Amino acid sequence: MTSILPKRLARPRRLAGNKLLSLVETMATPHQLDRYLELVNPMASVRDLRAEVTDVLRQTDDTVTLTLRPTWQWDGFEAGQFVQIGVVINGVRHTRCYSPACSQYRADGRIELTIKAHPEGLVSQYLHAHAAPGLIVSLTQASGVFAMPAERPEKVLLISGGSGITPVLAMLRTLVDEGHQGPITFLHYADKAADVPYRDELQHIAANRHNVEVVFAYTAQPESSGLSGFFGIEHLEHAAPWHADAATYLCGPPGLMKGVRTLFTELGLENRLYTEEFAPAIAVGDDDATGTISFTASSVEAENNGGTLLDQAEAAGLTPEYGCRMGICFSCTAVKTSGCTKNLKTGETDSDPDQPIQLCISAAVGDVAIEI
Ligand SMILES: Cc1cc2nc3c(=O)[nH]c(=O)nc-3n(C[C@H](O)[C@H](O)[C@H](O)COP(=O)(O)OP(=O)(O)OC[C@H]3O[C@@H](n4cnc5c(N)ncnc54)[C@H](O)[C@@H]3O)c2cc1C
Ligand code: FES
């Protein structure tokens, strides 16, 4: 097994280095040292975490797989977590979340992302069409709680659909690197075989590991060696008859997520199910909503419809920055100068003026003024 230890050992040395950097940066004012360095070499950064795209692979018609070489600040990740990358398109930086698909022990320290090009998607379409070796992107440290416990469960069921393959593939590759001996089933949903990135590798893993079973389920193509149609109890029993004793990790489109959650709840197994969402599941709109939203920096006003402030700003013709649209990346943070807002994730309300709020998970309760 290769080791990820260097990232942990690097930290104390980094603290001492940070003091020296602060001194040098003070001397380099008015701009941060990184602003000078990036003019010479965009990868020579003292503070900003960035990455260079070193390889680009288009495994299927609508996906692109990028290999990233991060700068020295990168701390590594746990299989299942996500990173944010920032891509400049027409002079504007856009940030999006992506889950590394590689093993957390990858020997060369690089990160592999597989991105599905959404039909209307700004960043995913851009990367699918234009990503090439040499492209520099900004990068954040990994975050997210979708990860396996340090003491691995003996039986592991990994369920994915579409682009949701990435975090659970990282888990599979990590378990394989660890020499995990308990049963693992990888159950993946797609319209058809041609849509599945990593199909050959998955079959190769299954053929060479006595404890790993890979099952493909196609919703638009009969599958002689696997399953057809949508997730249900028959698929679960076929793929992992031992599912009741397993830890199950799930990531996929909303329909698959709902189907698995519903069945696991009926079976009383919801506490053994761990999930990751790629798309927001926040309810939009409220017929009883009242008040006016004032977007003060743009001099635009809109009648409050109870939806998220991000949706309402966009509907009013504004283009505030966003990343995840589900409250995890903070890209959409803006200052509420007055009024009451409700956090749609927690239900908490906030009436204090001049508060930073996340537009994507906040709704107006009556009149609200936002500084965008
Ligand atoms: C934690 C996390 C991990 C993620 N990991 C991956 C990954 O490994 N691979 C990957 O391909 N994507 C992943 N995503 C989704 C990714 O962050 C972007 O949402 C996606 O690439 C679309 O961005 P875009 O700029 O192309 O679309 P945008 O321009 O932002 O959106 C265009 C349209 O597409 C819709 N849309 C946006 N995102 C989705 C979505 N995820 N599903 C369905 N419709 C959507 C929007 O509602 C909008 O109508 C992840 C998201 C999260 C929150
Ligand atoms: S867009 Fe990520 S927190 Fe709002």
Q: What is the pLDDT of residues 52-108, one digit of tens each?
A: 999 999 999 999 999 999 999 999 999 999 999 999 999 999 999 999 999 999 999
The number of the ligand nearest the C-alpha atom of 358 reads 2
Q: Can you give the pLDDT at residue 351?
A: 95
Q: Confidence class of residue 195 from pLDDT cuts 50, 70 and 90? A: very high
Best residue among 96, 309, 332 to mutate for probing ligand 2's pocket (most ligand atoms within 8 Å of CB) is 332
Q: Separation of 346 CA from ligand 2 center, angstroms?
A: 15
290-303 pLDDT, tens digit per residue, is: 999 999 999 999 99
Which residue minimizes the CA distance to atom 17 of ligand 1?
A: 97
Any idea which architecture 6-139 has in CATH?
Beta Barrel (2.40)
Q: Confidence class of residue 259 from pLDDT cuts 50, 70 and 90? A: very high
Q: Can you give the pLDDT at residue 8?
A: 37
Q: Separation of 240 CA from ligand 2 center, angstroms?
A: 36
Q: What gap in Å lies between CA 211 and CA 187, rounded to an integer?
A: 14
Is ligand 2 within 6 A of the CB of residue 324? yes
Q: What amino acid occupies position 318?
A: L
Is ligand 2 within 6 A of the CB of residue 248? no
- CA angle, 140 then 53 then 115, to 5°: 75
Asked whether the predicted pLDDT for residue 260 surpasses 90, the reply is yes
Block residue for tokens 């299927």? 60
Mean pLDDT over the full length of the chain: 90
Closest by CA position to 86, among listed 40, 126, 137: 137
CATH dotted code for 156-276: 3.40.50.80
Which comes out higher in pLDDT, residue 140 or 39?
140
Q: How many percent of the chain have pLDDT more than 70?
A: 86
Q: Confidence class of residue 329 from pLDDT cuts 50, 70 and 90? A: confident
Asked whether the predicted pLDDT for residue 191 surpasses 60, the reply is yes
Nearest atom, ligand 2, residue 97 CA? 2
User: Where are the chain's structural domains?
Assistant: 6-139, 156-276, 292-370
Asked whether the predicted pLDDT for residue 28 surpasses 70, the reply is no
Q: What gap in Å lies between CA 194 and CA 357, rounded to an integer?
A: 42
Nearest atom, ligand 1, residue 100 CA? 8
Asked whether the predicted pLDDT for residue 359 surpasses 90, the reply is yes
Best residue among 331, 341, 362, 372 to mutate for probing ligand 2's pocket (most ligand atoms within 8 Å of CB) is 331
Q: Confidence class of residue 12 from pLDDT cuts 50, 70 and 90? A: very low
Q: Confidence class of residue 3 from pLDDT cuts 50, 70 and 90? A: very low
Which residue minimizes the CA distance to atom 38 of ligand 1?
A: 279
Which comes out higher in pLDDT, residue 80 or 23?
80
Q: Can you give the pLDDT at residue 30?
A: 65
Token pair, residue 191, equals: 């319209």
Q: Can you give the pLDDT at residue 222?
A: 73
Average pLDDT of 26-45?
66
Q: Separation of 271 CA from ligand 1 center, angstroms?
A: 27
Q: The dihedral of CA 116, 120, 122, 128: what is its sign?
A: positive
Q: What gap in Å lies between CA 343 and CA 210, rounded to an integer?
A: 48
Pairing of strands 63-70, 111-116: antiparallel
pTM for the whole thing?
0.86
Q: Confidence class of residue 20 from pLDDT cuts 50, 70 and 90? A: low
Q: Can you give the pLDDT at residue 9?
A: 37
Of the candidate ranges 32-36, 159-163, 292-296, the one whose mean pLDDT is the lowest: 32-36
Asked whether the predicted pLDDT for residue 240 surpasses 50, the reply is yes
Of the candidate ranges 110-114, 169-173, 214-218, 287-291, the one whose mean pLDDT is the lowest: 287-291
Average pLDDT of 95-123?
96
3-state secondary structure the chain: CCCCCHHHHHHHHHHHHHHHHHHHHHHHCCCCHHHHHHHHCCCCCCCCCEEEEEEEECCCCCEEEEEEEECCCCCCCCCCCEEEEEEEECCEEEEEEECCCCCCCCCCCCEEEEEECCCCCHHHHHHHHHCCCCCEEEECCCECCCCCCCCCCCCEEEEEEHHHHHHHHHHHHHHHHCCCCCCEEEEEEECCHHHCCCHHHHHHHHHHCCCEEEEEEECCCCCCCCEECCCCHHHHHHHCCCHHHCEEEEECCHHHHHHHHHHHHHCCCHHHEEEECCCCCCCCCCCCCCCEEEEHHHCEEEECCCCCHHHHHHHCCCCCCCCCCCCCCCCCEEEEEEEEEEECCCCCEECCCCEEEEHHHEEEEEEEEECC
Q: Can you give the pLDDT at residue 48?
A: 86
Q: Can you give the pLDDT at residue 14?
A: 58
The number of the ligand nearest the C-alpha atom of 278 reads 1
Which residue minimizes the CA distance to atom 15 of ligand 1?
A: 278
Asked whether the predicted pLDDT for residue 11 surpasses 50, the reply is no
Q: Can you give the pLDDT at residue 286?
A: 73
Which comes out higher in pLDDT, residue 102 or 283?
102
Q: What gap in Å lies between CA 334 and CA 354, rounded to an integer?
A: 10
* Domain covering 292-370 assigned CATH 3.10.20.30 in the classification: yes
Of the candidate ranges 15-29, 104-118, 135-149, the one whose mean pLDDT is the lowest: 15-29
Instruction: Decide: 171 and 80 in contact? Cβ < 8 Å.
Output: yes
Q: Can you give the pLDDT at residue 38?
A: 66
Long-range contacts of 124-129 (CB under 8 A, 24+ apart): 124/96, 126/87, 126/89, 127/64, 127/66, 127/87, 128/58, 128/62, 128/63, 128/64
Q: Separation of 91 CA from ligand 2 center, angstroms?
A: 21
Is ligand 2 within 6 A of the CB of residue 356? no
Is ligand 1 within 6 A of the CB of residue 247? no
